[in-house]
Structure 1
Amino acid sequence: MEPDPVAPPAGGTAASVWPPPQPSSSLIFLGTGCSGALPDTRCLIRASTPPCAVCSLGLSLPPERNPNYRLNTSLLIDYCHDDGTHKYILIDIGKTFREQVLRWFVHHKVPSVDSIILTHEHADAVLGLDEVWVVQPRNYRNEIKQIPIFLTQFAMDSITRRFPYLVEQKPEDGDEDAQAAKIDWKIIEEDVEKPFVASGLEFVPLPTGAGQLDLLILEANALHGVGDAFSTHLTLSETLDAIKRIRPKRALLIGMRHFFEHQRENQMLAEWSISEGIPVQLAHDGLRAFIDL
């Protein structure tokens, strides 16, 4: 029987799964927020009148039961090989990575990361690199294994300036107790249409005119045009327009700022889903979505 294609309930807890568990690969949403994460501290230390409703809700419940508490956008792919072994592929490792490890690696019993893909060089995608050594796999002699990190040359140049000790594979000067991460830096070809393989899983750029997608994960940063006038991020209406053009079997939205109240927006999206025939919901931190890879 095929998994239920309906998105999780609007008020679901941050540790829910979609659809119900089964022995397969899955996607774990370590973070679904914007660069600054939520709650936005500015809304709390310089409270407005009335106060920001979403950021206030972000403190009203423990993060594991609070879908309005959103860390930097990051995705962990739990890739189940044919022989039943699991490999964990991390996409982006931002400013909130340590909290994501403490919260979601522990909750979902993730032991380590086998490879990392960096989508770009911004702080919300790379500043967690300082914690890579914590999640590196070990061999049978308990020695840290080298971890491949896939990135563009442009991102590599930025990381070399920010983290010279990671590129040189040695601890920072004066930090004798630190462990040096063992990293195999892998530059993705300039030809963006060329696939690459990470931990046995092939990553292929979405070609024009591709067949229907099982799951589309897309950003919705601002709500109906609310936000920075010159922002390169998508608004919710722009995101929904893109979903109508692509027409995936289902879609989950990420990257939301504090304009999005989880339950309210998901109720609206449930109505949109019925109207358009495409299940769409906001994702939330800790969500695990099972999928064939």
Structure 2
Amino acid sequence: MQNGTVSMAELLNSSSALIFMGTGCSSAVPNAMCLIQPSDPPCSVCSQSLSIPPDLNPNYRGNTSLLIDHLQSNGEHSYILIDVGKTFREAALRWFTFHKIPRVDSVILTHEHADAVLGLDDIRAVQPFSPTNDISPTPIYLTEDSMNSVGVKFPYLVQKKLKEGQEVRRVSQLDWRIIESHHEKPFVASGLQFFPLPVMHGEDYVSLGFLFGETSKVAYISDISRFIPSTLSVISKSGGGQLDLLIIDTLYKTGSHNTHFCFPQTLDAVKTICPKRALLVGMTHEFDHHKDNEFLTEWSKREGIPVQLARDGLRVPIDL
């Protein structure tokens, strides 16, 4: 602070914050096919990517991912990343630099699909350089089922010992930590407690959301087609108490989908849960950020619950 003024750096360090590293679907936005084989007229959302830089384009969306900048009681910050999908490296180059994020202290995985885990190899990009991999590994919190799948996808990331004659390769150094799929089995990552929120992501598959925060309660649910009753009870105003912020999946603007909420189901869920505020993630190119947020502004006035589409790079200060 100089002459009684507060610098931008001081403001950024004065509270915890949530930073949206990505807010799009698995294939991301723009949709490649819209640019390779453009329709007539062209897709207005995707064609914007050819004329507006991604940093200035809220319709440019990477794989859904959240960075938690946690201001701890000792005044130090820890950085917790939920999901590290196919677009992680691009998002880190864009938003870590913009928001002055110096590192990742731990990673939490919601499930083992490509848009949640295929950036694991790129964690090395935000780790200290060591040609011999002699660095402290980054903790990765995930279920046993996800661990088994990741072990098949990335055997070299989970291998503990080199075989005879095998050369050291510079890869991500990761410390795998198994968590359970139950809200009564919380875990602590980099000083912040998380309660797993199992939800259906298709009728034969369970993905995890997470409830975190003591001063402010936040529920993050990125991949859902149906709520499990116990999870809905924990995060509903009528059950476990009102959330300060709900972050929730919405894939398409109309209809339904077998593995994701779409806009109608998402808004119904928001009304049922009744948080103080909601932000939506996981959108395809059907959503136009400005136009659909205008609709949501009117919806919010009618329902009494502020709801908006999130955007990549959005920083939400919050007291955790």
The TM-score by the shorter chain falls in which range?
A: 0.7 to 0.9
1:124 to 107, 115, 122: 115
Q: Post-superposition shift, 1:53?
A: 1.4
Is 1:252 paired with 2:243?
no
2:240 maps to which residue?
210
| Change over 3 Å in CA distance of 1:84–1:269 after alignment to 2 | same
Give the secondary-structure state (helix, strand or coil) at the position aligned to 2:116.
Answer: helix
Structure 1 residues 245 and 137, CA gap change in structure 2 (3 angstroms) = farther
Residues 30-86 of structure 1, C-alpha deviations (whole Å, 9 max, x = no match): 000000001000111011122111111233211110000000000000000011100
Over 3 Å counting, the alpha-carbon distance change for 1:230 and 1:82 in structure 2 is closer
Matching of residue 110 in structure 1 with residue 140 in structure 2: no
Partner of 1:14: none
Match of 2:254 in 1: 224
- Residue type matched to 1:25 in 2? S
**Are the equivalent residues in 1 in contact too, given 2:251–2:262 (CA < 8 A)?**
yes
**Aligned position for 1:288:** 315
Tell me, in whole angstroms, the C-alpha distance in 1 between the residues paired with 2:151 and 2:76: 34
Secondary structure (helix, strand or coil) at the match of 2:193 reads strand
Determine the C-alpha separation between the residues in 2 that align with 1:241 and 1:62: 34
CA contact (8 A) 2:247 2:281 kept: yes
Over 3 Å counting, the alpha-carbon distance change for 1:192 and 1:211 in structure 2 is: closer
Q: Which residue of 1 aligns with 2:288?
A: 261
Q: Which amino acid aligns with 1:65?
A: L
Counterpart Cα distance in 2 of 1:71 and 1:210: 32
Structure 2 match to 1:186: 177
Alignment correspondent of 2:216? none
For residues 28 and 190 of structure 1, the distance between their equivalents in structure 2, rounded to whole angstroms, comes to 25
User: C-alpha deviations, 1:103-144, integer Å up to 9, x for none?
Assistant: 001111111100000001010000000111222369xxx962
Structure 1 pair 22–88 and aligned structure 2 pair: CA distance change class (3 A):
closer
Match of 2:23 in 1: 32
Deviation at 1:183, TM superposition (A): 1.4
Once the two structures are overlaid, the 10-residue window that deviates more, 182-191 or 277-286, is: 182-191
The count of aligned residue pairs is: 268
Between Structure 1 and Structure 2, which shows a larger proportion of strand residues? 2
Higher RCO (CA < 8 A, seq sep 6+) = 1
Q: CA deviation at 1:244?
A: 0.7
1:162 and 2:159 are equivalent in the alignment:
no
User: How far did 1:170 drift?
Assistant: 7.4
The SS at the match of 2:247 is strand
The residue that corresponds to 1:201 in the other structure is: 192
From 225, 235, 249, the equivalent of 2:262 is: 235
TM-score (norm 2): 0.78
Aligned residues with identical type, % of pairs: 60
* Residue aligned with 2:280, SS: strand
C-alpha spacing 1:199/1:144, structure 2 compared with 1 (3 Å) = same
Distance 1:46 1:149 in 2: 39
For the Cα contact (< 8 Å) 2:182–2:195, is it kept in 1? no
Kept after mapping to 2: 8 A contact 1:169/1:180: no
Contact 1:115 1:149 in 2 (8 A): yes
Distance 1:191-1:267 versus aligned 2 partners, 3 A rule: closer
Shift in Å, 1:169 = 4.8
In 2: Cα distance, 1:57 partner to 1:218 partner? 25
Query: Is the CA contact (8 Å cut-off) linking 1:114 and 1:136 kept in structure 2?
Result: no
8 Å Cα contact 2:54-2:60 kept in structure 1: yes
Residue 237 of structure 1 and its aligned partner are, at CA, apart by 1.3
Distance in 2 (CA, whole Å) between partners of 1:276 and 1:22 is 34
Alpha-carbon separation, structure 2, partners of 1:55 and 1:176: 44
Report the AA paired with residue 218 of structure 1: I
Runs of 5+ in structure 2 lacking a partner? 1-10, 197-210, 212-230, 234-238
Change (3 A) 1:22 1:156: closer
Q: SS of the residue aligned with 2:176?
A: strand
Matched position secondary structure for 2:66: strand
Aligned equivalents of 2:49, 2:299: Cα separation in 1: 25
